[in-house]
């Protein structure tokens, strides 16, 4: 089995150095590391500051302008560069827990599985919202889902994350590839199409990466506005599926956890963050009714709207 890793880059830092070193130490060797960097000048500054030479790690770099970046299109371009059996999509801030990440991830690509995604663990110092969200979305048990699970599980049936996900390259075109353009959610849209094409989506709980954020309330709003836009742009997928119910379950779980820890006051900042997320999501779902200038204030992906 040959395996390539694709990593989109934008303002990489020391964490990316840790990631790429961990990739070179994997028990399942990486054939090629394909880096797609946004804005060459920013990459040059990073490489100089960290004395980073991509060739030392067997990596190749392609540069795109910020206006050209697209969550789906950029990854699609990188996918087409690969002839490996398996292509792993990662983000620059996802750090493998150990050297067995890729081996464990690829092991879940059994017959009929088009894509498998890894478990995300909160980084040290992650906030309450990040910790609880990771625990909620990435449980301790692995799963394999097919089309029949959409009716039972709703949006959870095709949940997937390109923070760390392995794609069977031979099925990429058969599924239809990433849906271009995409402001967000290219991974879940692909997973949905994989299920509808008769393939399966797997979750590998034993393949783990450290990944979490320290978003401000406004950053949460911008991010979830784009999430809402992605769902509004694909009513054939999300139109009859209510994702708000998953949010309610998350909040209930948080209440229980904080009470169990005897720290109920943590629900105040947690609830505020959730309110910003919900507001952004609701506005994103209704973006077609908003003036363009309002959309540009709310989005976290301003260049996307130049071509949309």
Under 8 Å between Cβ of 195 and 148: no
Is residue 244's pLDDT more than 80?
no
pLDDT of residue 247: 78
Q: What percentage of the chain carries pLDDT values higher than 70?
A: 99
pLDDT digits (tens, 9 = 90+) for 200-224: 999 999 999 999 998 999 999 999 9
Q: What is the pTM of this model?
A: 0.95
Ramachandran angles phi, psi of 106, nearest 5°: -65, -30
Work out the angle at residue 212's Cα, subtended by the Cα atoms of residues 297 and 123, and round it to the nearest 5 degrees: 150
pLDDT digits (tens, 9 = 90+) for 60-100: 999 999 999 999 999 999 999 999 999 999 999 999 999 99
pLDDT of residue 67: 94
**Bigger pLDDT: 229 or 257?**
229
pLDDT digits (tens, 9 = 90+) for 268-282: 988 999 999 999 999
Q: Which CATH class is domain 3-210?
A: alpha beta
Interacting residues of 291 by C-beta distance below 8 A, sequence separation 6+ = none
pLDDT of residue 241: 81
pLDDT of residue 111: 87
Q: Which segments within 122-184 are labelled E, that is strand?
A: 143-145, 164-168
pLDDT of residue 76: 98
What is the average pLDDT across 23-52? 98
Interacting residues of 7 by C-beta distance below 8 A, sequence separation 6+ = 16, 19, 20, 33, 34, 35, 36, 90, 91, 92
Under 8 Å between Cβ of 45 and 39: no
Q: What percentage of the chain carries pLDDT values higher than 90?
A: 84
Is residue 42's pLDDT more than 80?
yes
* Averaged pLDDT of the chain: 95
Under 8 Å between Cβ of 228 and 281: yes
**Bigger pLDDT: 239 or 9?**
9
What is the average pLDDT across 3-30? 98
What is the average pLDDT across 17-44? 98
**Bigger pLDDT: 255 or 129?**
255
pLDDT digits (tens, 9 = 90+) for 114-172: 999 999 999 998 877 788 889 989 999 999 999 999 999 999 999 999 999 999 999 99
Report how far residue 66's alpha carbon sits from residue 8's, in angstroms, rounded to the nearest whole number: 12
Which band of pLDDT confidence, cut at 50, 70 and 90, is reported for residue 263?
confident
């Amino acid at each position: 089995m040959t395996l390539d890793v694709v990593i989109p880059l934008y303002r990489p830092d020391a964490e990316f150095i840790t990631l790429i070193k961990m990739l070179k130490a994997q028990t399942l060797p990486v054939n090629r590391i394909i880096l797609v960097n946004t804005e060459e000048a920013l990459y040059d500054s990073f490489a100089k500051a960290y004395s980073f030479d991509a060739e030392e790690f067997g990596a190749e770099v392609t540069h795109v302008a910020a206006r050209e970046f697209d969550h789906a299109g950029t990854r699609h371009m990188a996918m087409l560069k690969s002839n490996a059996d398996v292509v792993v999509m990662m983000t620059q801030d996802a750090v493998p827990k150990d050297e067995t990440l890729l081996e464990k991830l690829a092991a879940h690509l059994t017959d009929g599985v088009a894509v498998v995604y890894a478990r995300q663990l909160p980084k040290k110092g992650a906030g309450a919202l990040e910790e609880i969200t990771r625990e909620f979305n990435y449980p301790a048990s692995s799963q394999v889902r097919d089309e029949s699970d959409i009716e039972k599980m709703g949006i959870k049936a095709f949940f997937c994350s390109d923070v760390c996900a392995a794609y069977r390259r031979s099925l990429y075109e058969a599924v239809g590839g990433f849906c271009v353009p995409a402001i967000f959610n290219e991974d879940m849209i692909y997973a949905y199409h994989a299920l509808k094409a008769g393939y399966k989506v797997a979750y590998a709980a034993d393949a783990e990466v450290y990944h979490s954020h320290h978003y401000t309330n406004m950053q949460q709003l911008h991010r979830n506005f784009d999430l809402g836009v992605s769902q509004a742009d694909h009513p054939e997928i999300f139109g009859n599926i209510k994702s708000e119910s998953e949010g309610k379950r998350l909040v209930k779980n948080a209440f229980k956890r904080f009470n169990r820890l005897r720290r109920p006051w943590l629900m105040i900042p947690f609830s505020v963050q959730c309110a910003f997320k919900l507001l952004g999501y609701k506005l994103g779902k209704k973006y077609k009714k908003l003036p363009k200038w309002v959309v540009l204030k709310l989005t976290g992906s301003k260049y996307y709207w130049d071509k949309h």
